[in-house]
């Protein structure tokens, strides 16, 4: 097949609607006027060193893949299989087009993070970037990721607001001890009742300690914190001995059960 010219790519990209990911498609940038600059390239550059360079033989799941920027990066690092999921058809169509132009075989599927059990597969690397704060039930999503798809590494990013400090959470506090709640660095998840930045899909804004605490609570060991909003984690045991979370959706094939 004759490759598309830059002008043809530009036209096809424009026909796919507004892009959130700015991806350079053979000279045609998909979101050149992004309010965060060359996004997510500018973010990726700040933590890419903390992601394994050689992904040969590895499987990757990109949750909330949008137009596939990170899926493409993982494939470029040699990942054997990359699956990108998102619940928005517009973004999935953009992702399929971007991967086609880049000549990369990536599987994009319409699936919500709440339904990851349907994949019935654990992945060596799970990307959960920029999605948590868009969810009404963020901890449920982390629990489901842990229980059903996280095989080894989790690469997490969230918009964060408030203190960027770490906080040494004690194992327990006396009932009358309250000062820690007023410490800005104590894990806090700010609830957004209406809109934030004109976007009603922003539901929560954790501070940095809250991202870390939620990850630990869901059973992820934090290995690295290479950038303020990014945590590289390893799936492990949950600190508290509860069983499978949200078991209400029985699996028809019996696979992908709780770790």
Q: Name the residues that contact ligand SAM, by CB under 6 A.
A: 20, 40, 64-66, 69, 86-88, 91, 112-114, 129-131, 134-135, 157
Nearer to ligand SAM, 65 or 126 (CB): 65
- Minimum CB separation of residue 258 from ligand SAM in Å reads 20
What's the chain's length in residues? Answer: 259
Nearer to ligand SAM, 176 or 191 (CB): 191
Nearer to ligand SAM, 93 or 224 (CB): 93
Nearer to ligand SAM, 88 or 93 (CB): 88
Nearer to ligand SAM, 134 or 190 (CB): 134
Tell me whether strands 150-157 and 123-129 are parallel, antiparallel or unpaired: parallel
> What does the buried/exposed string (b/e) look like for 101-121 if buried means 16 or more CB atoms within 10 Å of the residue's CB?
bbebebebeebebbebbbbee
- Minimum CB separation of residue 149 from ligand SAM in Å reads 12
> What does the buried/exposed string (b/e) look like for 177-189 if buried means 16 or more CB atoms within 10 Å of the residue's CB?
eeeeeeeebbbbb
- Minimum CB separation of residue 68 from ligand SAM in Å reads 9
Give the separation between CA 187 and CA 175, rounded to whole angstroms. Answer: 18
- Minimum CB separation of residue 216 from ligand SAM in Å reads 21
Closest CA to 22 of 46, 42, 3: 42
- Minimum CB separation of residue 173 from ligand SAM in Å reads 33
Nearer to ligand SAM, 86 or 118 (CB): 86
Which helix H or strand E contains 234, and what residues bound it? strand 230-235
CB 229 within 8 A of CB 159: yes
Nearer to ligand SAM, 140 or 185 (CB): 140
| Cβ-based neighbours of 189, under 8 Å, separated by 6 or more | 138, 204, 205, 206, 210, 214
CB 84 within 8 A of CB 71: yes
- Minimum CB separation of residue 49 from ligand SAM in Å reads 17
CB 80 within 8 A of CB 56: yes
- Minimum CB separation of residue 89 from ligand SAM in Å reads 10
């Amino acid at each position: 097949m004759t490759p598309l010219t830059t002008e043809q790519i530009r036209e096809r990209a424009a026909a796919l609607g507004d892009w959130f990911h700015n991806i350079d498609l053979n000279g045609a940038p998909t979101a050149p006027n992004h309010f965060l600059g060359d996004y997510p390239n500018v973010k990726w550059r700040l933590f890419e060193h903390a992601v394994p360079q050689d992904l040969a033989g590895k499987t990757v799941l990109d949750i909330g893949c949008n137009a596939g920027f990170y899926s493409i990066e993982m494939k470029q690092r040699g990942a054997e299989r990359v699956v990108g999921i998102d619940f928005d058809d517009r973004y999935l169509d953009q992702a399929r087009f971007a991967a086609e132009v880049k000549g990369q075989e990536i599987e994009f599927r319409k699936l919500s993070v709440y339904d990851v059990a349907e994949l019935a597969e654990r992945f060596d690397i799970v990307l959960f970037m920029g999605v948590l704060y868009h969810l009404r039930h963020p901890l449920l999503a982390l629990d489901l990721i842990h229980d059903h798809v996280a095989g080894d590494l989790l690469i997490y990013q969230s918009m964060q607001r408030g203190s960027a400090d770490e906080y040494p959470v004690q194992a327990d506090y006396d009932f009358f001890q309250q000062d820690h709640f007023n410490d800005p660095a104590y894990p806090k998840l700010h609830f957004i009742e209406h809109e934030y930045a004109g976007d009603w899909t922003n539901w929560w804004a954790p501070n940095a300690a809250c991202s870390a605490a939620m990850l630990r609570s869901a059973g992820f060991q934090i290995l690295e914190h290479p950038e303020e909003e990014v945590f590289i984690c390893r799936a492990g045991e949950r600190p508290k001995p509860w069983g499978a979370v949200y078991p209400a959706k029985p699996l028809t094939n019996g696979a992908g059960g709780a770790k």
